[in-house]
Amino acid sequence: MESRGERLSGEQLLRWRRSLLKAGGRPADLDWLIDLAGGLGWQALQAVRLHPERSLELRLSCQALAALWQRHLETDEPLQYLVGRCPWRDLELAVAPGVLIPRAETELLVDLAQQLLFPQRLLHPQRLLISQQLLIRPRPPASWADLGTGSGCLAVALAGLWPESRGFAVDLSRHALAQAGANLVAAGLGDRVQTICGSWWQPLAAQRGLLELVVANPPYIPTAVWRQLEPLVRDHEPAMALDGGADGLDAIRSIVAGASVHLAPGGLLLLEHHHDQSSAVLALLRQAGLEAVCGHGDLEGTLRFASARRPIN
């Protein structure tokens, strides 16, 4: 996206923005493009409305931005792929076709991991009761894994939180793994996380019984639902990242099946799932002999996450 910036007045910018929206698309998406590619954030755009007489500078020319917008409208390509970046938590990650664009709800997995490992209210100061037999002191996990790392969003966030921990980011897609590796290196975290190609637990045989935390946002959309997704997602984001098989639970079954063997005693498994899979996922976790099985809601209260621990004994 080699292009020079452009200086213009606020009034010119607002007129140009209105003319682009006449061709279609959502105002919020266009403002996202103006922010990420043009370098004019939401607050600055509000200031332009208050003071349209002031001049401002865009990082890309209006012509280049308009070309990206037009392509998005014509081809349904996600803007994140066209710009090559996606904001997520406090990060700005590189993304490209072939790699899932990280979603806002997945940000909560990081918060959940922190809350479950470091609960605010403990019965005993500095100690957490995780089974009838054992009290442990909360501390960062010695080692953790992110199964199906995609862009590496979860791995980058976890590695940033716990400098002393050793992380493993696994994906079956070499494309995704390369992107995750690049995002880890760009964040200065390349030496804290090993990226490994393979299917779920298979490349983690050497970590059997050692992983104190495993997070996963696996493909969980039932195939029939995936087929009906809007073209923006279905035709451009990798099916392998989204399609979870007939009932959406293929990947979750595989992950749950290997959890007891790969987690350390007392280790925590944290999964994202579809909005209507909570009871099925909790049942799978219990059937697998895990304990402290619990569902967690997203910001709207819909159960979208599940956690469980490997028993100590």
Ligand X SMILES: C[S@@+](CC[C@H](N)C(=O)[O-])C[C@H]1O[C@@H](n2cnc3c(N)ncnc32)[C@H](O)[C@@H]1O
Q: Which residues bind ligand X (CB under 6 A)?
A: 100, 102, 106, 148-151, 153-154, 170-173, 176, 199-200, 217-219, 240-241, 251
| Residue in this structure with the two tokens 């005993």, named with its chain if needed | 124
Alpha carbon distance 192, 311 (integer Å): 27
Nearest distance in Å: CB 149, ligand X: 5
Alpha carbon distance 5, 39 (integer Å): 10
Q: Which is nearer to ligand X, 171 or 212 (CB)?
A: 171
Number of helices (H), then strands (E), belonging to the chain: the values are 13, 13
Q: Which is nearer to ligand X, 162 or 201 (CB)?
A: 201
Q: Which is nearer to ligand X, 6 or 243 (CB)?
A: 243
Alpha carbon distance 297, 313 (integer Å): 29
Gyration radius (Cα) of the chain, Å: 22
For helices 27-36 and 10-22, give the axis angle rounded to 10 degrees.
130
| Tokens found for residue 129 | 């009761």
Q: Which is nearer to ligand X, 73 or 233 (CB)?
A: 233
Residues 6+ apart with CB under 8 A from 104: 88
Alpha-carbon dihedral 260, 261, 266, 269, rounded to 10 degrees: -60
Q: Which is nearer to ligand X, 25 or 198 (CB)?
A: 198
Instruction: Tell me which amino acid residue 157 is.
Output: A
Nearest distance in Å: CB 242, ligand X: 6
Nearest distance in Å: CB 148, ligand X: 3
| Residue in this structure with the two tokens 């897609």, named with its chain if needed | 173
Q: Which is nearer to ligand X, 162 or 200 (CB)?
A: 200
Nearest distance in Å: CB 301, ligand X: 21
Nearest distance in Å: CB 106, ligand X: 4
Nearest distance in Å: CB 47, ligand X: 33
Nearest distance in Å: CB 286, ligand X: 23
User: What's the Cα-to-Cα distance from 135 to each of 14, 120, 123, 139, rounded to whole Å?
Assistant: 61, 16, 11, 12
Nearest distance in Å: CB 139, ligand X: 25
Q: Which is nearer to ligand X, 13 or 99 (CB)?
A: 99
Residues 6+ apart with CB under 8 A from 128: 119, 122, 135, 136, 137, 138
User: What's the Cα-to-Cα distance from 201 to each of 39, 205, 305, rounded to whole Å?
Assistant: 41, 7, 20
Q: Which is nearer to ligand X, 20 or 195 (CB)?
A: 195
